[in-house]
Amino acid sequence: MTVLAWCVAAWLLGMGVYGMVTSRNYVHLIGCLSVCQSGTYVLLLGIGFRWGAGPPIFYNHPPGTPAVDPVVQALVLTDIVVGAAMTALLLAIALQVHKRRGTLDTQHLRPLRPTE
Amino acid sequence: MTQRWRLVLLIPAFLVLATAAAAIILGLPAFGHPLTHYGTAVNTLAPALRNVSNMVAAVNFDIRGIDTLGEESMLVCAVTATVILLRGHRGEDGSERAGLIPGRANAARSDGMVLMCRLFATVVFLFGVYVVLHGTITPGGGFQGGAIAASSFILLYVGGGYQPWRCVLHSPVVVGLEGFGALAFVLCAAVPLAFGYAALQNVLPLGTWKDLYSGGLMVIVNIAVGVAVTGSFGVLLIEFMEETRAPKGHDEKEGA
């Protein structure tokens, strides 16, 4: 039980890598990258967790009561926002690749060269 | 490289990954018993030092505010790059109809759905504003609230379709929101510097505990982030929606 969270994080990373390696579609590959990234969410939230502690928001319970680590939660927040923006950027690249090459199959994509 | 060779190469890579992961997992502190003193210190000291009740916001916008400034810049850079990649010469006037590509569904909408989408877009937008404004008190903050507020734009699109949507949501407005939010954050960091304090130092009066104004400079940074995130997501939506429109023909050749 004590290592379950870490194993889930490693499993998510591994499955994301497996998906990226075997991917046949660029959009699918971006999804796999997001799976890899969700491993970091599990890892960070797991590191900050404390048994019997509440959320790090002292509204209903006064300051001084046990609370989980707010630093890693702030990190996860950062992680999610940047992840969303990077996914948007990668999808934009996918659109451009599809316009130029007519395919999103990662097996057939070659380095971009000037057309004509 | 063929599919088979990729899989063959993946096996040793996974072996290395599994070994490293096992070593790290066994070396990590036990689950539920963290060794992070920084977080404990923040939980103990920050409520009294900053008059805020949301410690995550305190870390994000004050104690590690300079890191959030870096993250905000990453967000703006990623959005700018997306816009550069996607923007063609289409749709700036918003006059042309979308969704008329052969084979793509263009079903008529019922009045009830349009009404519900408009009502809920308002509610969702107000909820986003609420989450932003209460960022230093209750769970939430600029990033979460901004994303919620921006999702109301999608509801407007679902309800009204492309053309009415573009009449409501103007590209310069959302671009301005994004830039204004990011600029306000930078100013919050730079103005204290100009007066001889540290960057992002909380020089404003701290306000009252559990009040809408609590946390001093944090309130302004929080709202700036909320505005910037709303703008960024709005820009992304507009640019990706542009891609659903039928190209004018010569557009494909441009910028090649």
A48 token code pair = 């900050």
Among candidate residues B120, B85, B121, the one with its CA nearest the CA of residue B242: B85
pLDDT of residue B128: 95
Average pLDDT in chain B? 84
Burial A84-104 (b: 16+ CB within 10 A, else e): bbbbbbbbbbbbebeeeeeeb
Residue A110 has pLDDT above 80, yes or no: no
**Separation in Å, CA A66 to CA A85, B50, B63:** 34, 19, 20
CB of A34 within 8 Å of a chain B CB? The answer is: no
Query: Is A56's CB within 8 Å of B86's CB?
Result: no
Q: How close B168 comes to chain A (CA, Å)?
A: 23
Which residues of chain B, if any, have pLDDT below 70? 1, 88-107, 244-256
At residue B89, the pLDDT reads 54
Cβ neighbours for B12, distance < 8 A, ≥ 6 positions apart: none
What integer pLDDT is reported at residue B254 of this predicted model? Answer: 40
Residue of chain A whose Cα is closest to the Cα of B3: A22
Tell me what pLDDT residue B95 has.
47
Token reading at A41: 């969410």
pLDDT (0 to 100) of residue A98: 85
Helices and strands (DSSP H and E) totals, chain B: 9, 0
Measured CA distances, B223 to A84, A90, B119, B129, B168 (Å): 20, 28, 24, 9, 23
Give the pLDDT confidence of B91-119 residue by residue, as tens digits: 444 445 555 556 666 667 788 888 999 99
B68 to A89: CB separation less than 8 angstroms, yes or no:
no
Q: Which of A71, A85, A89 sits opposite B42 (nearest CB)?
A: A71
**Cα–Cα nearest to A56, from B45, B121, B93, B66:** B45
Q: What is the mean pLDDT of chain A?
A: 87
Task: Give the span between the Cα atoms of B68 and B156, in whole angstroms.
Answer: 30
Interface membership of A70 toward B (CB under 8 Å): yes
The confidence score (pLDDT) of residue B107 equals 67
**SS3 breakdown of chain B: % helix, strand, coil, rounded to 5?**
70, 0, 30
3-state SS, residue A74: helix
Query: pLDDT tens digit string along A44-88?
Result: 988 888 888 888 888 888 888 888 889 999 999 988 988 888 899
User: Is A48 within 8 Å of chain B by CB?
Assistant: yes
- How many angstroms separate the CA atoms of B16 and A107, rounded? 25
User: What pLDDT shows up at residue B251?
Assistant: 44
Per-residue confidence (pLDDT) for residue A2, from 0 to 100: 79
